[in-house]
Amino acid sequence: MDYVEPAVARKMDGLRLALSAHVPAPYGMSARAIFDHHGVAYVPVRQVVAGENEDLVAWTGHRNAPVAVYNDEVPRVGWLEILNLAERLGSGPSLFPSDIDERMLMVGFSNELIGENTFIWNLRLVMLGFGGPERAARERLRNPMYDQYGYSEEAAGMAVDRAKVVADRLTAQLVAQREAGRRYIVGEAFSALDVYWVYFSQAVRTFPAAVCETPPGMRRVYEAAARALGDVDPILVEHRDRILAERDLPLDF
């Protein structure tokens, strides 16, 4: 992708989307997929993983990605803020179920997957601890993510059990949907939850190299998280792979 620097993007109109440059980061990839689904054009803006990103902070107030800025509106950083922005700006089928109960279920599941202190948050603690305490202590000096995620050996020790609860509940939901003859995680139509699972499922099993050339270091920490999580029901990866086969979701970075 051709990224624009934050200082340049700040002077532009329209939608600018700060993304972790040259990394298949799941938050950014899912944001891209959602804007693509709705046909919303955006300018990709460079964010450097674990970098100071001073120009991005000066513009948006945020160091991490994704950050979506539309014209002179307030920057959006949360997954639900970004999803709602795409729904407002774009066209095509909504990524929210039409049924109110299914819509609430989708939002709840999405938060349990990618919100604070939930599935991916806890597995991120496992990833930060990859390589042992001495490595974590060294990395903490240069990588602000350790403090942002509240990393400690104790927190990492509890993280796997918390992530497993979400994985087990998602498995039960997919099994129930399959038994009901439904193809998606919630309801009868493709939703944002299916998008999120495609990208965040990397913590269960990384994408095959033929599908996405994940950088070796990133692949190693995802595989460490998957080993810590242990065996999961094959339905989780089967669903991910089927959605990837059926949908034109972005996998370049």
Please state whether beta strands 43-47 and 67-70 pair in parallel, antiparallel, or not at all (unpaired): unpaired
pLDDT at 142: 73
| Closest of 221, 241, 253 to residue 156, by C-alpha | 221
pLDDT at 148: 76
Q: What angle do the packed helices 153-179 and 100-114 form, to 10 degrees? A: 150
Specify the pTM. 0.93
pLDDT at 227: 93
248 three-state secondary structure: coil
Six token digits for residue 41: 């054009």
Report the alpha-carbon distance of residue 235 to residue 16 in Å, rounded.
36
Q: Which two tokens stand for residue 84?
A: 């709602």
| Residue 67 DSSP SS3 | strand
pLDDT mean by block of 10 residues, the chain; 253 residues:
97 98 96 98 95 96 97 98 98 98 98 95 84 74 75 80 96 98 98 98 93 91 92 97 96 93
